[in-house]
Chain A
Amino acid sequence: MNDMRILERDVHTKATKIKGDKVQVYYGENHAIKDVDIEIEDNTVTAFIGPSGCGKSTFLRCLNRMNDTIDGCRVKGEITLDDENIYDNKVDPVQLRAKVGMVFQKPNPFPKSIYDNVAYGPRIHGLAQNKSELDDIVEKSLRRGAIWEEVKDRLDAPGTGLSGGQQQRLCIARAVATEPEVLLMDEPCSALDPIATAQVEELIDELRANYSVVIVTHSMQQAARVSQKTAFFHLGHLVEFNETGEIFTNPRDPRTESYITGRIG
């Protein structure tokens, strides 16, 4: 009978990709992340939800050291990617970000052609030996971004000329071009209409086969739709982290219940 069980529930069997151990983040005096322990699994979509200012975006940005660029931001505790401490002095943040790609809220293609948008990362990381290899990477990435069919005849057109939903999928293609292992997404659909949102969500589900995906979203329904695991953050604490179906049908913590049912914000 188990063969007919909804597949999404089978989420406790994946290997750990990222592990946070007593993570603290301070912006100057402000203690933004308090004692977060978390294990993010491979080949899984993990959603971070919580009210504004709860720390979910801050924590997401710790995972590829985007917070390094913010003055006065300190990160304590340990975050490991495949058991390697990403805050170790030996780790080059640029290399780390090639492994941990990021997609932002607003589609932000470079003011270049569609081709060059995707080729940019592989070029600076020296992933292609020659033009034909680069062509292959660009095509493969655009296919993974589920946008190849729409743009294959106009690769020289500017990326900024695409529709919002297409631009976002282009940005996802750009993020996967450097063969990352983890994809971080910060509100990737908040600037998109419902159909473009559904297309990006379908894409996220496909990406799960190859990546560990972490998505921050304000839309609880989106978290419910796309993720297999959901983490609820509140006032800098990780309140609850569980299988998404459990979070949305039977949350353990009263704060989670109040938030997802629209009783606290």
Chain B
Amino acid sequence: MNEPHITSVFDRDLEAVQAHLMKMGGLVEAAILDAAKSLETRDEELAAQVRRNDRQIDELEARVNEEAARVIALRAPTAIDLRTVLTVMKISSNLERVGDYAKNMAKRTGVLVQMTPIEDSASDIRRMAKSVELMLKDALDSYIHRDDALAHDVRQRDREVDQMYNALFRQFLTYMMEDPRNITGCMHLLFIAKNIERMGDHVTSISEQVIYLVTGEMPDDARPKEDKTPYMAEPKG
């Protein structure tokens, strides 16, 4: 479906709205990496920057929605064009949520840098953030190249993020039981880990949108879920 439309303004409009989406994606990827980096390197200034930059992401989301509404009103898109516009709107709202989670990480980092670091948990979290960022990068690539196989792959990888979250959950539980003075820090770290786990879910949803865009159908198999924390009790021993 790469032939241009006879009316070239249609192509320009579609490209413009997708260009906004890709710019948004780039900012969100950077926000995830910077938030995790600021936590590990205890860089308060970088954390503050992540919090400030979230506004740009929000503005782009508004812009994408506005332009998408315009394309629907003026061009009456059908078939692949309609799926493109619908997908753009959903992906932009997923990206905006991911951006919010990164901002929330950066807020908690502002508190955590005032406290004694808890073992090497910050680098574990950064690893987890890195794998979500990679998933997001691949999800956006799969969108650009209309590559549903890559989108399926991204969707499967969310399982790994869930597993990292389970491990961190146990780890923080243990630290808190060992020493109640760890509780405040660990609570913040746990929320950060949860934020990253949620980011993974949003990225999964983006890759499902790509599958819908390319094939016209949402994937119907149940997505593999590995988040076991709802069932976790106190560790024994």
For the complex, give the distance between the alpha carbons of A225 and B73 in Å.
Answer: 9
Q: Do A245 and B73 touch across chains, with their CB atoms under 8 A apart?
A: yes
Q: Do B20 and A249 touch across chains, with their CB atoms under 8 A apart?
A: no
A150 touches B (CB below 8 Å)? no
Q: Do A195 and B73 touch across chains, with their CB atoms under 8 A apart?
A: no
Q: Which residues A223-265 have CB closer than 8 A to chain B?
A: 224-226, 244-245, 248-249
B90 touches A (CB below 8 Å)? no
Q: Give the residues in chain B near A82, CB-CB below 8 Å.
A: none
Q: Give the residues in chain B near A6, CB-CB below 8 Å.
A: 12-13, 16-17, 67, 70
Q: Do A202 and B6 touch across chains, with their CB atoms under 8 A apart?
A: yes
Q: List the A residue with the shortest CB-CB distance to B8.
A: A202
Q: List the A residue with the shortest CB-CB distance to B6.
A: A198
Q: Give the residues in chain A near B13, CB-CB below 8 Å.
A: 6, 8
Q: Do B7 and A202 touch across chains, with their CB atoms under 8 A apart?
A: yes
1/0 per residue, CB under 8 A from A, across B44-58: the answer is 000000000000000
Q: Do B76 and A221 touch across chains, with their CB atoms under 8 A apart?
A: yes
Q: Do A225 and B7 touch across chains, with their CB atoms under 8 A apart?
A: yes
7 contacts between A and B (CB under 8 A): A4-B20, A6-B16, A7-B12, A201-B6, A202-B7, A244-B74, A245-B73
1/0 per residue, CB under 8 A from B, across A6-31: the answer is 11100000000000000000000000
Nearest CB in chain A: distance from B237 CB, A: 56
Q: Give the residues in chain B near A131, CB-CB below 8 Å.
A: none
Q: List the A residue with the shortest CB-CB distance to B22.
A: A4
Q: How many residues of A contact B (CB 8 A)?
A: 20
A5 touches B (CB below 8 Å)? yes
For the complex, give the distance between the alpha carbons of A202 and B12 in Å.
Answer: 12
Q: Which of B5, B23, B74 contacts A248 (CB 8 A)?
A: B74
For the complex, give the distance between the alpha carbons of A7 and B63 in Å.
Answer: 14
Q: Give the residues in chain A near B74, CB-CB below 8 Å.
A: 224-225, 244-245, 248
A160 touches B (CB below 8 Å)? no
Q: Do A5 and B16 touch across chains, with their CB atoms under 8 A apart?
A: yes
Q: Which of A4, A195, A225 contacts B19 (CB 8 A)?
A: A4
Q: Give the residues in chain A near B23, CB-CB below 8 Å.
A: 1, 4
A199 touches B (CB below 8 Å)? yes
Q: Give the residues in chain B near A198, CB-CB below 8 Å.
A: 5-7
B9 touches A (CB below 8 Å)? yes
Q: Give the residues in chain A near B73, CB-CB below 8 Å.
A: 224, 245, 248-249
Q: Give the residues in chain B near A201, CB-CB below 8 Å.
A: 6-7
1/0 per residue, CB under 8 A from A, across B20-50: the answer is 1001000000000000000000000000000
A205 touches B (CB below 8 Å)? yes
For the complex, give the distance between the alpha carbons of A6 and B74 in Å.
Answer: 12
B225 touches A (CB below 8 Å)? no
Q: Do A205 and B8 touch across chains, with their CB atoms under 8 A apart?
A: yes
Q: Give the residues in chain B near A1, CB-CB below 8 Å.
A: 23, 60, 63
B228 touches A (CB below 8 Å)? no
Q: Do A245 and B70 touch across chains, with their CB atoms under 8 A apart?
A: yes
B69 touches A (CB below 8 Å)? yes
Nearest CB in chain A: distance from B200 CB, A: 29
Given A6-B13, A7-B12, A224-B73, output 8 extra A-B contacts at Cβ < 8 Å: A6-B12, A6-B67, A202-B8, A205-B7, A225-B7, A245-B70, A245-B73, A248-B73
Q: Give the residues in chain B near A224, CB-CB below 8 Å.
A: 73-76
1/0 per residue, CB under 8 A from B, across A78-109: the answer is 00000000000000000000000000000000
Most chain B C-beta atoms within 10 Å of own C-beta, residue among A1, A4, A244, A248:
A4
Q: Do B16 and A4 touch across chains, with their CB atoms under 8 A apart?
A: yes
For the complex, give the distance between the alpha carbons of A224 and B73 in Å.
Answer: 8
Q: List the B residue with the shortest CB-CB distance to A6.
A: B16
Q: List the B residue with the shortest CB-CB distance to A9.
A: B70
